[in-house]
């Protein structure tokens, strides 16, 4: 989270004074409904559902796509474990695919990993960098599989002029503390598909969706037993303010990143980008020609991070997935379902990805840096590069 102030305090106070904190209420401020409307307008999409987390949004989208036991969903080797866990949570199996030099999922390896069981692919816009959505959508169309964009780390980013999360069949945002706009926790399902929206909405609030307000007006889908990830008016009020800050935050991140890159360009290479103008620019990523040089740089600049060693953000550290512990009760464990018999998740499945990740280093960008801050950061990085 980058910016928060009096406007958010006033928004929370507005809800508290109204004494109507439940998302469905008779009048008052309708914070959830208004946030969803404002998000739809901002992202140019038909449906947006605010809920408690990005993980929940991924789950809801997969349920909306009717994905379950016996199905496979392709995920990248470089993404937070939540992406794979969302797949397991609906009874399906996550198949890991290589990344390419952009650090995003490799469209060519997606195609290699497709089997008759493949129902979807989840491209993840890691660190605010866009995936190669043209190539991914072409592969998906060729093989008739769904595309669920995990844009949890890329709220507001774009690819060739289209906002991330709006290009595939559905998308997911996260609004937790570590994202560029935040209410501490939160997420949103994004889609233009009516069936995904209806079933995703029911899944995320199955205890109450049919009983409060007219949320299912005009629905074709019938209620079913799902889960409870309904949010509240306070979260939505904060997010309404945060949404107004989004484009300004992105503008300043991009401006500061460009200035920093210009100062560093004589001394280093940068990661390949699928759309430099569409990046969220929350980090700058340096490219090295060996693992050792990346490690040497990290030693001299501890604030940098090498993505190969980011724990649960890399597939070989997804311990619960590797050990097939998909549920506390073994009878509920999707890895043991008859439909998923024979599925394996080898830890050496994407060694190419590990090599690529080990030769890059991330450095965080702050939208509020001054010219002096940028110059100081550049000097620090250049000193660390002089090995």
Enzyme catalytic residues: 179
Give the tokens for residue 129.
């960098």
CB 132 within 8 A of CB 84: no
| Placement of tokens 């198949």 in the chain | 95
| Placement of tokens 């890991």 in the chain | 96
Partners of 121 in beta bridges: 74, 147
Strands 146-150 and 118-121, bridge-based pairing: parallel
Give the tokens for residue 207.
């205890």
Q: How many residues does the chain have?
A: 387
| Residues contacting residue 142 through CB under 8 Å, at least 6 positions apart | 111
Backbone angles phi, psi at 236, to 5 degrees: -65, -35
Q: How far apart are CA 171 and CA 165, in angstroms?
A: 4
CA distances from 220 to 46, 91, 171, 244 (A): 16, 24, 21, 33
CB 113 within 8 A of CB 86: no
| Placement of tokens 């990523």 in the chain | 285
Helices and strands (H, E) in the chain, number of each type:
12, 12
Q: Which of 79, 71, 53, 153 is nearest to 114 (CA)?
A: 71
Give the tokens for residue 85.
């866990």
Please report the beta strands in the chain, taking only residues with DSSP state E, as ranges in sequence order. 47-51, 72-76, 93-97, 118-121, 146-150, 158-159, 162-163, 170-174, 187-191, 269-270, 283-287, 360-364
> Residue 27 is inside which H or E element, if any?
none
CB 90 within 8 A of CB 134: no
CB 95 within 8 A of CB 74: yes
Degrees to nearest 5, angle at CA 52 with 46 and 195: 35
């Amino acid at each position: 989270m980058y910016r928060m102030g009096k406007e958010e305090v006033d928004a929370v106070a507005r809800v508290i004074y109204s004494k109507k904190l439940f998302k469905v209420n008779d009048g008052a401020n309708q914070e959830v409904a208004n946030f969803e409307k404002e998000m739809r307008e901002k992202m140019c999409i038909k449906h947006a559902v605010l809920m408690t987390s990005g993980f929940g949004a991924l789950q809801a989208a997969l349920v909306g796509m009717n994905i379950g036991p016996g199905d496979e969903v392709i995920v990248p080797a470089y993404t937070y474990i939540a992406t794979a866990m969302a797949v397991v949570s609906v009874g399906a199996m996550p198949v890991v695919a290589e990344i390419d030099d952009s650090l995003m999922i490799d469209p060519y390896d997606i195609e290699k990993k497709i089997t008759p069981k493949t129902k979807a692919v989840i491209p993840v816009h890691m660190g605010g960098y866009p995936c190669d959505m043209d190539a991914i959508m072409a592969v998906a169309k060729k093989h008739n599989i769904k595309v669920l964009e995990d844009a949890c780390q890329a709220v507001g980013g774009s690819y060739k002029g289209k906002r991330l999360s709006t290009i595939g069949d559905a998308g997911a945002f996260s609004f937790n503390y570590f994202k560029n706009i935040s209410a501490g926790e939160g997420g949103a399902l994004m889609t233009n598909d009516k069936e995904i929206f209806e079933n995703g909405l029911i899944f995320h609030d199955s205890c109450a969706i049919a009983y409060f307000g007219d949320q299912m007006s005009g629905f074709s889908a019938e209620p079913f037993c799902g889960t409870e990830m309904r949010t509240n008016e306070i979260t939505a009020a904060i997010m309404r303010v945060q949404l107004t800050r989004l484009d300004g935050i992105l503008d300043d991140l991009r401006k500061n990143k460009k200035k920093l890159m210009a100062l560093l360009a004589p001394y280093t290479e940068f990661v390949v980008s699928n759309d430099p103008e569409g990046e969220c620019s929350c980090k700058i990523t340096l490219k090295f020609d060996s693992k050792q040089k990346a490690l040497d740089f990290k030693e001299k600049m501890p604030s940098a991070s090498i993505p190969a060693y980011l724990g649960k953000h890399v597939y070989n550290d997804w311990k619960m997935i590797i050990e097939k512990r998909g549920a506390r009760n073994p009878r509920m464990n999707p890895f043991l379902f008859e439909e998923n018999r024979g599925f394996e998740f080898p830890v050496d499945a994407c060694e190419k990805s590990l090599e690529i990740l080990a030769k890059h280093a991330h450095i965080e960008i702050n939208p509020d840096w001054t010219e002096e801050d940028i110059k100081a950061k550049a000097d620090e990085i250049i000193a660390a590069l002089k090995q």
